[in-house]
Chain A
Amino acid sequence: MAPEQGYLILQLHAHLPYVRHPEFEGFLEESWFFEAVTECYLPLLDAFDRLERDGVDFHVSMSITPPLCEMLCDGHLRDRYLRHLRGIVRLAELETHRTAADPEMNKTARFYQELFQRLRFLYEEQYGADLVGQFRRLQDHGLLEIVTCGATHGFLPLMDHPSAARAQIRVARANYEKHFHRPPRGIWLPECAYSPGLDEMLRDEGIEFFFSDAHGILYGEPRPKFGIFAPVRTPAGVSIFGRDMESGKQVWSAREGYPGDPVYREFYRDLGYDGDYEYIRPFLNGDGIRKDTGIKYHRVTGDVALGKKQLYDHDAANELVAHHAGNFMHNRQAQARHLYGVMRQKPVIVSPYDAELFGHWWFEGPKFLEMLLRKLHHDQNEIQTITPSAYLALSTPIQTITPSASSWGDKGYFEVWLNGSNDWIYKHLHEAERRMSQLAQLHVNGLRARAAAQAARELVLAQSSDWAFIMTMATMSSYAVKRTLEHIHHFNTLYQQILTDHVDVGYLEDLESHNSIFPEIDAAVYR
């Protein structure tokens, strides 16, 4: 049954840069990945499973980037993650004893014990450590639509050689087919960054739609009749869904958004920093440096110092989540009703979020999504969730416009990835692009072909927009700088070895085992 007023596309962008460091036990950056699995990907899957089991008809669009898929399927990371997960289960158990004298804290400790036991059961037993397989199943059941992204989240508008952006899309497409057993229909452009010409490239690679920030469409030519509330189509025939700011802000704005409510869990107070060092030591990495454990006893409370935060009550947070889900639904209904009145056509409201917001940054986020999807299904018929492909299949006429360059970064263009803190990278990345294209034209075989494939891996890893982003945002960007330098260095070394036909097998094998993303990659994607 069609909704009375309009459609809602929830688009969750799940991405982490490729952080795999077999050389060290307990590498800090690997814990980004572990935290995201525990706090976001597992709880999201658990929520989607429950919804499906309860017969809730819901539709969510998700981009799961190739590096994330590769990490989720990587044997080394799976083993380490399982060890990590068992560790926090053990810690949560210890916590139920340690807090026995304090009923309030003990309630939360028991809540964590139950939560982590469940997550361990899901990961190890129910899902057999195969989270990508679970997302694939949900897509096969028609509940999720998974779209692809750039191979390594490379910032496409700032690439120079045409083969470089094309290779990012080709590698992503092949990797998507490997993980999801079908070709992708849509793409979340890395950082939502578009520049003219990308649409033709997407069309050539069989991509039917992408997402754009609002001004990319609003400043399009000719004027988009329905603003961002109907997809538009580029002259190359690729459809674009524009990002709605209103629904976005409600969720993620630090000031006005739901996650900042005093009742929700405080992110920055963690047992890893608060606990007695000797007690917490066995649960830290090999370096013994304090870090987050995921056991957090405090709530946002308000604008007070971390030391003044009050204790968290997950029952109260659960009640508030239900309230916020209802509020979000009512706001979308009102928005759709109003838009329908103006447009005389059912609007589509596109709300993209970083997936990691739900659970990692906003602990109660997965519960919020679950409640929202339940309410939308049971309580009303004004709006309906839909996937982009399903919307396009409705065959509503679509206006053709030439969109404007844009991104979802600060100020709306490319400055976050091109400024005084990171502009030095482009000279080297661009040269590597040219050299990679040259290597692809050589049609080498044997060991040199293996080296050329590894050179392609090093190049795409160097291109991750995450590094430039971290350089802009962080006072301490040494990891991002180091990753950039290392991949460029490895690329240039391999390039010389291939040209001179002196491939150092030991060096190559070492790189192949460390930077092992995309085993399927072939330098031919740069032709």
Chain B
Amino acid sequence: MSPKGKDNKPKAKRKPDAPAKKTTTTNKPVKETTAKRKAPARKRKAVASIEATLPVVSEQPVAVDLTPAAEPGPPPVPEPNAPPLPTGYGHDRIALLVRDPNCLFAYWDLTGDAFGGLVSARGEDFVNRCSWALRVHNHTQGAHHFQPVGVETGSWYLEVVPSTTYSVDIGLVAPDGAFLSVASSKQVSTPRDSISDRIDEEWTVSEAQFEKMFDLSGGNTTMGASESISSVGLQRMRERVALQLKEAISSRRK
């Protein structure tokens, strides 16, 4: 089975719910004060609650089908104050994580000296004419491409292909197209998402026989079928959520 006929050209993928406009207003890496982060909407929710050091969730509970018969409740009592997160760790770093065969997650912390060094070496005017990008290396194919990013977003999801080794650099693209790397990630490999073509000589198995075992193993019904692959933990969570919802409702009732 080939890797599901996916187009082999990696493309950048916007984060879920990302705002369409992602232009950078300054080329200076923002010292990551969370207040200035322009994270995509979904991310912003999580971050906003952290930066306020008061993780209040203002949304109305949605899983009403799980709740006792009652009208939707007010927001739950907020947790007592939680400590703030460090804004950065004083170094220049980009990390690359595997999410699944078709998606990598990169985040960066550019609070070290590298950017300042570039500014001193090349001048502020030059740097202001550059734009930020990720250079995505496909080591399996020996190719790379650039993904423009807003440096202040702090992270990016990349669409990739299975069974492939990648690394990324974050840096500046100069007006003449030259790439000035600020930080480089380690290499990571995306998982395989299909059956191997290799057959073990000691464990020979015919195509038909393997197809049968694959099918009996749930290969044709489970892969990518979220309902069947999702864990009981989901159920457990549903019940915990329900518990909290009940709590919110009953605190109003009492």
Chains A and B bind each other: yes
Q: Which of A291, A475, A485 sits near B50, CB closer than 8 Å?
A: A485
A253-B227 contact in complex given A399-B200, A423-B107, C-beta closer than 8 Å: yes
In the complex, what's the smallest C-beta–C-beta distance from B127 to chain A, in angstroms?
24
Instruction: In the complex, identify which listed stretch (A62-70, A74-82, A202-210, A404-412) lies at the interface while the others stay far away.
Output: A404-412
Taken residue by residue from 239 to 268, chain A's Cβ proximity to chain B (1 for < 8 Å, 0 otherwise) reads as 000101110010011110000000000011
Tell me, in angstroms, the Cα distance from A401 to B210 when the chains sit together: 15
B100 → chain A, closest Cβ, in Å?
4
Candidates A195, A215, A306, A420; contact of B40 at CB < 8 Å? A420
Contact with A along B104-139 (1 / 0, CB 8 A): 010101000000000000000000000000000000
B19 within 8 A of A: no
- B239–A410 CB distance below 8 A: no
Least distance between A346 CB and chain B CB atoms (Å): 14
Contact A470 B237, CB 8 Å, known A225-B203, A413-B100: yes
Question: Which one of B76, B212, B218 contacts A478 once the chains associate, using CB atoms below 8 Å?
Answer: B76
A366 to chain B, nearest CB (A): 15
| Cβ-defined contact, B196 with A249, below 8 A | no
Determine if B55 and A482 form an interchain contact, defined as CB atoms under 8 angstroms apart: yes
Q: Cβ of B5 < 8 Å from any Cβ of A?
A: no
A442 within 8 A of B: no
A227-B219 contact in complex given A222-B203, A414-B99, A479-B79, C-beta closer than 8 Å: yes
- Among A195, A227, A342, A401, which residue has the most Cβ atoms of chain B within 10 A? A227
State the Cβ distance, A354 to closest chain B Cβ, in Å.
4
A101 close to B (CB within 8 Å)? no
**A492–B86 touching, CB < 8 Å:** yes
Pairwise interchain contact A476-B61, C-beta atoms closer than 8 A: yes
Residues of B within 8 A of A413 (CB): 98-101, 191
Instruction: Map CB proximity to B onto A465-497 as digits: 1 under 8 Å, 0 otherwise.
Output: 000011101111111011001101100100000
Contact with A along B200-224 (1 / 0, CB 8 A): 1011110001101110111101111
Is B253 part of the binding interface, using a Cβ–Cβ cutoff of 8 Å?
yes
On whether the beta carbons of B246 and A195 are closer than 8 Å, the reply is no
B139 CB to closest chain A CB, in angstroms?
A: 15
The yes or no answer to A223 lying at the interface (CB within 8 A) is yes
Stretch at the interface among B22-30, B143-151, B228-236: B228-236
Whether the Cβ atoms of A474 and B219 lie closer than 8 Å is: no
Give min CB distance, A29 to chain B, whole Å. Answer: 9
Could you tell me if A158 and B97 are in contact, using CB atoms closer than 8 angstroms? Answer: yes
In the complex, chain B residues whose CB is within 8 Å of the CB of A391: none
> Min CB distance, B208 to chain A, in Å?
11
Interfacial chain B residues near A473, Cβ < 8 Å: 234, 237-238, 241
B46 pairs with A471, CB closer than 8 A: yes
Q: Which A residues from 278 to 306 make CB contacts under 8 A with B?
A: 288-292, 305-306
Which of A218, A290, A473 has the largest number of chain B CB atoms within 10 A? Answer: A218
Q: Return chain A residues, CB-CB under 8 Å to B47.
A: 424
The answer for the CA separation of A102 and B55 in the assembled complex, in Å, is: 46
CB of A219 within 8 A of CB of B196, answer yes
Q: Which residues of A contact B235 (CB under 8 A)?
A: 252, 254, 357, 361
B66 within 8 A of A: yes
Q: Which of A91-99, A133-141, A426-434, A507-515 contacts B (4 or more CB under 8 A)?
A: A426-434
B219–A476 touching, CB < 8 Å: no
**Given contacts A245-B222, A471-B46, A223 and B196 within 8 Å (CB-CB):** yes
Pick the most buried of A277, A421, A428, A431: most chain B CB atoms within 10 A of its CB: A431
- Which residues from chain B contact A412 at a C-beta distance below 8 Å? 100, 222-224, 229
Given contacts A413-B191, A473-B234, are A245 and B55 in contact (CB under 8 A)? no
B200 touches A253 (CB 8 A): no
B59-87: CB near A (< 8 Å → 1, else 0) gives 10111001111000000101100111110
Q: Which residues of B contact A424 (CB under 8 A)?
A: 43, 46-47, 50, 85, 155
A413 CA to B192 CA, complexed, in Å: 11
Collect the chain A residues with CB atoms within 8 Å of residue B210's CB. 223, 225
Q: Do B219 and A409 touch across chains, with their CB atoms under 8 A apart?
A: no
Nearest residue, chain B, Cβ from A489: B83
Q: Using a CB-CB cutoff of 8 Å, which residues 176-199 of chain A contact chain B?
A: 191-192, 195-196
- Closest 10 pairs (CB-CB, A-B): A290-B250, A227-B217, A413-B100, A245-B218, A420-B42, A489-B83, A405-B191, A227-B213, A222-B198, A221-B196
Could you name 13 residue pairs across A and B whose Cβ atoms are closer than 8 Å? A215-B222, A223-B195, A223-B199, A242-B217, A245-B218, A268-B67, A305-B69, A360-B239, A361-B235, A411-B226, A420-B46, A470-B237, A477-B57
Residues in chain A within 8 A of chain B (CB atoms)? 28, 32, 157-158, 160, 191-192, 195-196, 213-215, 217-229, 242, 244-246, 249, 252-255, 267-269, 273, 277, 288-292, 305-307, 338-339, 342-343, 353-354, 356-357, 360-361, 399-401, 404-406, 408-415, 418-424, 426-428, 430-431, 469-471, 473-479, 481-482, 485-486, 488-489, 492
